[in-house]
């Protein structure tokens, strides 16, 4: 039985696959089961940002696998704390807290939950929670029910109705459309600084600054989905800084190139004070508010991150 035949019989057909079975790779090149070599221009859909089987990544994974493969988030691990510190000090450069997960969809779900939690603290005038997250047309935020509902593309949502309520989609890069964007129930904005799946659309600096101004005027959250664009893919460690570096977001999500091929995702929340008591935004996601079974051990040890 060939590999495609085995897939046909045993693997759910959620992907339309090319007739190509890859068996190994190194750097920018991969090899199929017939020994033919190819240049890989996709890199796992923007995942293998260091190429295939980078020697230092391979060494880090082997080293960690020989020490401890899994431990729950009920305990401390050096690697998770060091990685969070590395991200905050050398990549984000803003005070905040990280949560580690397995994928970008999970990371975006974390941002959505965080926005809902914020809406319970900073309510509407009548005391009802704010809950609506404004996203943008042609966006893509993942395939879970939450991240799919946040995605501004009907084709992604088709056949999975009803969608999770609480989202509204505006035209991307359209400052005029923001004029009446904020409603009583609106709690924040979620967007990709550079859209990917819906087409390569780069947010303008003026658009990001207009969102930032609305955030400040209406006490909203500004959250960046950097799953495809973050961690160096746009020339800066953080993609929004390549466009409007002065902006300080409230939340950021990552995955893909963050791990260079290792399944990893994360979201970050700012430590900024959100009320007169000095409550930090990051503190709203306390014990019991969120979790990830496999989010504790991180293969990409911080000492291997700077190449």
pLDDT tens string 133-173: 999 999 999 999 999 999 999 999 999 999 999 999 999 99
Same domain, 19 and 84: no
Q: Which of 63, 81, 96 is the last residue of a domain?
A: 63
Tokens of 83: 């990685």
Same domain, 160 and 190: yes
Contact 181, 220 (CB under 8 A): no
- The predicted pLDDT at position 307 comes to 47
Same domain, 48 and 74: no
Same domain, 293 and 167: yes
Q: What is the CATH number of the domain that holds 285?
A: 3.40.640.10
- The predicted pLDDT at position 174 comes to 97
Same domain, 198 and 217: yes
The 10 Å CB-count burial string (b at 16+, else e) for 166-184 is bbebbebbeeeebeebbee
Q: Which of 48, 63, 78 is the last residue of a domain?
A: 63
Q: How many domains does the chain contain in total?
A: 2
- The predicted pLDDT at position 101 comes to 94
- The predicted pLDDT at position 197 comes to 87
Same domain, 50 and 153: no
- The predicted pLDDT at position 305 comes to 54
Same domain, 72 and 183: yes
Question: Which 8-state DSSP code applies to residue 117?
Answer: H
Which residues on adjacent β-strands are paired with residue 97?
269
Q: Could you tell me the pTM of the whole model?
A: 0.94
Tokens of 135: 């996203």
Same domain, 88 and 20: no
* C-alpha separations of 101 from 19, 259, 293, 296 in Å: 32, 11, 8, 8
Residues in the chain: 307
Closest CA to 300 of 265, 251, 253, 252: 265
Contact 149, 131 (CB under 8 A): no
Residues of the chain whose pLDDT is less than 70? 298-307
Boundaries of domain holding 55: 3-63
Same domain, 109 and 51: no
Same domain, 49 and 168: no
Question: CA 112, CA 133: separation in Å to the nearest integer?
Answer: 8
Residue owning tokens 């994360």: 266
Q: What is the CATH number of the domain that holds 59?
A: 3.90.1150.10
Question: CA 175, CA 181: separation in Å to the nearest integer?
Answer: 10
Same domain, 187 and 278: yes
Same domain, 203 and 86: yes
Q: What is the torsional sign of CA 81, 87, 89, 90?
A: positive
């Amino acid at each position: 039985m060939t590999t495609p035949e085995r897939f046909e019989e045993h693997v759910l057909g959620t992907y339309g696959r090319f007739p190509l079975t890859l068996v190994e790779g190194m750097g920018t090149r991969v090899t199929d089961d017939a020994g033919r070599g190819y240049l890989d221009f996709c890199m796992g859909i923007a995942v293998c940002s260091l190429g295939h089987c980078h020697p230092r990544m391979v060494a880090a994974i082997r080293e960690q696998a020989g020490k401890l493969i899994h431990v729950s988030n009920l305990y401390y691990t050096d690697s998770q704390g060091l990685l969070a510190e590395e991200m905050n000090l050398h990549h984000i450069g803003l005070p905040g807290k990280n949560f580690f997960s397995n994928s970008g969809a999970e990371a975006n779900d974390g941002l959505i939950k965080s926005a809902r939690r914020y809406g319970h603290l900073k309510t509407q005038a009548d005391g009802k929670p704010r809950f609506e997250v404004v996203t943008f047309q042609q966006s893509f935020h993942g395939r879970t029910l939450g991240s799919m509902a946040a995605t501004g593309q009907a084709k992604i949502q088709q056949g999975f109705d009803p969608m999770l309520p609480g989202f509204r989609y505006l035209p991307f890069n359209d400052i005029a459309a923001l004029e009446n964007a904020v409603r009583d129930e609106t709690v924040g904005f979620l967007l990709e600084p550079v859209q990917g799946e819906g087409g390569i659309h780069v947010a303008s600096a003026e658009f990001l600054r207009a969102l930032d101004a609305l955030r400040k005027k209406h006490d909203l959250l500004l959250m960046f989905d950097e799953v495809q664009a973050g961690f160096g893919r746009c020339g800066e460690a953080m993609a929004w800084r390549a466009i409007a570096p002065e902006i300080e977001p409230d939340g950021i999500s990552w995955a893909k190139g963050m791990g260079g091929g290792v399944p990893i995702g994360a979201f970050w929340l700012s430590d900024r004070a959100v009320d007169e008591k000095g409550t930090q935004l990051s503190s709203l996601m306390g014990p019991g508010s969120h979790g990830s079974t496999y989010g504790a051990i991180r293969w990409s040890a911080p000492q291997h991150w700077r190449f």
